[in-house]
Amino acid sequence: MSGKYRLSLKPRDYQVEAAEWALREGSAVVVMPTGSGKTLISLIWVKRLLETGRASKILFLEPTRILVEQTAKYISRVLGVKALPIHGRYPRSRRIDLWRRARIAVATPETAYNDHDIVIGSGYNAIVIDECHHTTGKDAYMKFMEKARDIFRWRLGLSAYIPPTRRREIENVIGSIREWHWSDERIKKYVPEWIGEIYEAELNDAERRVLDVLEETRLNYTGRERMLVNLAIRWFVRDGALALMESLDRETHLSQLLTHIKPLLRNRGIRPLHKLPSLIRVLADHEGFHKAIVFVDRVIVCRRIARELKGYNPVAIYGKARMKEDIRHVLSRAHRVDTKLIVSTSAGEEGLDLPEADLLVIWSNVASPLRFIQRHGRILRLTGRRGLKFVVYIVTPDTPDMDSLIDSLETARRTGIDVPVDEETLESLWRRTTRNRILVVLEDKPLPEDWISELVNMPRDMVREGLRKLASKGMVYYIYTYHGRTYFTYNSLHQLVEEYGEYLDPDEDLVAKVKVYTDNIEHRTLTGRYREVYMRLRRVLEKYSYFTRVKAVIQVPLPTGALQQLIIHYVFRIDDPSILDIVLRNIYSARRLVETPFFKLDIMG
């Protein structure tokens, strides 16, 4: 494609076709299945507008902060034009600067609406509205477009599905709608058997206060008591305040530990089920589904959802022992055509003849691979493909609920289930977990484990497990210093060198034996001095792309004339030569390590 803007990906013919149609229309909506590459269509569209001078500043709207960050990275990488993410986590002063500087801005509709006065005055004249089926009623998408629609000469909406009842309103706000169906032979091969989607259910301020107090309380206990408080946190963020309140109303050891939490849960700002608005939105967004199954963990939640969503003629299934009517009668009702919604606890995961569904909603995220497989079997076994099938995960971001979702998706992949959630989305999700707190404090300064624990207000065992998982992703690293393991991120590399340079000053006379591994497969064992080993291992790294472990054996002369042998392990993902260099510098600075009081504890082994 000509012009000064070049795409790093080659478009497919139907993507070019869709982009050219949208350009001819001026204001248009492209409907195409998830997995078919709608974002690339938007970049073809943007590229043409920029090349011809028809547009000068473009705004992308994405429904969540996860997608804002992900889409900005994708645009910058594929189009080669820096896209700036803008969302509510930034103070308004910074957002104003970003709105004015950006050639391409990516924002949530809520942020765009809150800043609509700045957007209107900043020269934007083209907009891409992802997941545009939300642009109706009182949604933030619609509120923003009502304020700013007239400034956008060029409008492009993207969606996998437009519910019939929303079609007219979306055409009026955005433009003409055209669908490329999943059955198109050009598209079909790119569309998975089922689509995985993630909906966020944010805690409000009152609910966040409850979580903060629960986490502070956890630090006061150890052993069984800490485990019980962790369980209470999980119930609250995964299932809702209703589930936690039910548990605290019983005469148990947990209720005695958390007596101070009960008044907080009675606050009028606390919603019984903070995920319910997201579930309602899921069902509306997938209008036309044949049958939906919602899996929850608590009976009280199961019954409340069924009571709140009577319009779908729901059936609640929560175990034979507690059902008020015969389970056979309940299952008979579940199979009826007019029953659109089944809400089930784990009782429906196995053993019961639940009907086939084309929409599965995971309300309570679990890390168990067996339960994950059992739940998804309700979608995977659907026969006679009548259309796309969807699995929707409702998750509370920035809490342990996000941790559970990430763990379950990764466990599923390890056990052979092809979960159609792309890697970039998973990476973005990682930044919405409780582990993100660890990342945030490490962005500015390298720190040992105990300091991190104090700063993030989390127990050391949780911090240790979080660091282990972050290290396996190559999101944090460590070297050995007088603190023991000192953790850092790529962005804090220069602070590491400034503060711990004495532990990164290789002794050119020392000889080490260094082994490198990828996923427990040993690639190479090299013996030599620092510069020689680094140059050779750098070539090995280029060949294998990444290492997951480095082991070094080095003998250090002591003042007595004896030799001290150290065995040093680094267990984290290394995919960058600069990180490899840091590791080797730390190894060959072993004289300083011997002098520290920590080396026997942290290094010998």
Say which CATH number the domain at 152 has: 3.40.50.300
Residue 418 lies in a domain: no
Highest-confidence segment of 179-193, 346-360, 558-572, 581-595: 581-595
Whether 317 and 295 share a structural domain = yes
Whether 152 and 205 share a structural domain = no
Q: What total number of domains does the chain contain? A: 3
Whether 479 and 582 share a structural domain = yes
Query: Does the pLDDT of residue 321 top 70, yes or no?
Result: no
More confident residue, 97 or 353: 97
419 pLDDT tier (thresholds 50, 70, 90): low
More confident residue, 104 or 221: 104
Whether 125 and 67 share a structural domain = yes
**How high is the mean pLDDT of the chain?**
85
Query: Does the pLDDT of residue 169 top 60, yes or no?
Result: yes
Query: Does the pLDDT of residue 185 top 50, yes or no?
Result: yes
Whether 121 and 229 share a structural domain = no
Report the alpha-carbon distance of residue 332 to residue 283 in Å, rounded.
23
Residue 448 lies in a domain: no
Whether 201 and 296 share a structural domain = yes
pTM summary value:
0.64
Residue 512 lies in a domain: yes
Closest CA to 275 of 248, 311, 302, 247: 302
Query: Does the pLDDT of residue 366 top 80, yes or no?
Result: no
Residue 433 lies in a domain: no
Strand partners, 360: 293, 391
Highest-confidence segment of 5-9, 18-22, 72-76, 250-254: 18-22
Question: In this predicted structure, what is the pLDDT of residue 352?
Answer: 59
Report the alpha-carbon distance of residue 19 to residue 492 in Å, rounded.
41
Whether 159 and 200 share a structural domain = no
Closest CA to 133 of 236, 19, 16, 285: 285
Provide the 10 A C-beta neighbour count for residue 418: 11
Report the alpha-carbon distance of residue 236 to residue 509 in Å, rounded.
57
Percentage above 70 pLDDT, the chain = 88
Question: In this predicted structure, what is the pLDDT of residue 557?
Answer: 84
DSSP letter for 82, please.
P
Whether 99 and 200 share a structural domain = no
* Average pLDDT, integer, range 550-573: 88
More confident residue, 418 or 501: 501
* Average pLDDT, integer, range 465-492: 89
Residue 410 lies in a domain: no
Query: Does the pLDDT of residue 190 top 80, yes or no?
Result: no
Question: In this predicted structure, what is the pLDDT of residue 482?
Answer: 87
20 pLDDT tier (thresholds 50, 70, 90): very high
Lowest-confidence region among 35-44, 132-141, 225-234, 352-361: 352-361
DSSP letter for 353, please.
-
Whether 132 and 165 share a structural domain = yes
Query: Does the pLDDT of residue 82 top 50, yes or no?
Result: yes
Contact between residue 279 and residue 227 where contact means Cβ atoms under 8 Å apart: no
322 pLDDT tier (thresholds 50, 70, 90): low
Residue ending a domain, among 142, 158, 191, is 191
More confident residue, 443 or 514: 514
Long-range pairs, 535-543, Cβ under 8 A, ≥24: 537/580, 537/584, 538/577, 538/580, 540/516, 541/516, 541/574, 541/575, 541/577, 541/580
Question: In this predicted structure, what is the pLDDT of residue 605?
Answer: 32
Query: Does the pLDDT of residue 351 top 60, yes or no?
Result: no
Report the 3 state secondary structure along 550-581: EEEEEEEECCCCCEEEEEEEECCCECCHHHHH
* Average pLDDT, integer, range 82-90: 86
Which strands make up the sheet holding 549-557, listed edge to edge? 521-528, 512-518, 549-557, 563-570
Closest CA to 583 of 474, 490, 482, 480: 480
Query: Does the pLDDT of residue 167 top 80, yes or no?
Result: yes
* Average pLDDT, integer, range 167-186: 90
Question: In this predicted structure, what is the pLDDT of residue 383?
Answer: 44
Contact between residue 450 and residue 501 where contact means Cβ atoms under 8 Å apart: no
Strands 549-557 and 512-518: antiparallel
Query: Does the pLDDT of residue 334 top 70, yes or no?
Result: yes
Question: In this predicted structure, what is the pLDDT of residue 447?
Answer: 93
Whether 263 and 368 share a structural domain = yes
Highest-confidence segment of 143-157, 315-329, 392-406, 457-471: 143-157
Look up tokens 């997995």; give the residue.
Answer: 35
Q: What does the block give as tokens for 273?
A: 């089920």
Residue ending a domain, among 398, 417, 442, is 398
More confident residue, 239 or 1: 239
* N-to-C CA span, the chain: 57
Whether 203 and 133 share a structural domain = no
Residue ending a domain, among 158, 173, 191, is 191
Report the alpha-carbon distance of residue 100 to residue 59 in Å, rounded.
12
Residue 225 lies in a domain: yes
pLDDT digits (tens, 9 = 90+) for 516-539: 999 888 888 999 999 999 999 999
More confident residue, 60 or 379: 60
Question: In this predicted structure, what is the pLDDT of residue 425?
Answer: 66
Query: Does the pLDDT of residue 429 top 80, yes or no?
Result: no
Lowest-confidence region among 59-63, 252-256, 364-368: 364-368
Closest CA to 378 of 415, 349, 341, 414: 349
Question: In this predicted structure, what is the pLDDT of residue 573?
Answer: 92
Question: In this predicted structure, what is the pLDDT of residue 143?
Answer: 93
Which H or E run contains 362?
Answer: strand 359-362
Question: In this predicted structure, what is the pLDDT of residue 70?
Answer: 80
Report the alpha-carbon distance of residue 130 to residue 107 in Å, rounded.
11
Question: In this predicted structure, what is the pLDDT of residue 381?
Answer: 47
Lowest-confidence region among 205-219, 222-236, 378-392: 378-392
Contacting residues for 389 by C-beta, under 8 A, at least 6 apart: 193, 194, 195, 357, 358, 359, 360, 379, 382
372 pLDDT tier (thresholds 50, 70, 90): low
371 pLDDT tier (thresholds 50, 70, 90): low
- In angstroms, the Cα distances linking 508 to 277, 461, 472, 532, 533 are 63, 38, 30, 10, 11
Which amino acid makes up residue 342?
Answer: I
Query: Does the pLDDT of residue 14 top 90, yes or no?
Result: yes
Helices (H), 178-337: 185-188, 205-218, 223-234, 241-248, 253-257, 262-265, 276-285, 299-308, 327-335
Residue 421 lies in a domain: no
Report the alpha-carbon distance of residue 385 to residue 383 in Å, rounded.
6
Residue 438 lies in a domain: no
* Average pLDDT, integer, range 528-552: 93
Range of the domain at 361: 193-398
Whether 125 and 226 share a structural domain = no
Contact between residue 365 and residue 246 where contact means Cβ atoms under 8 Å apart: no
Report the alpha-carbon distance of residue 226 to residue 220 in Å, rounded.
8
Provide the 10 A C-beta neighbour count for residue 511: 14
Percentage above 90 pLDDT, the chain = 50
- Exposure b/e, 309-318, CB count within 10 A at least 16 = b: beebebbbbb
Which strands make up the sheet holding 477-481, listed edge to edge? 447-448, 484-488, 477-481
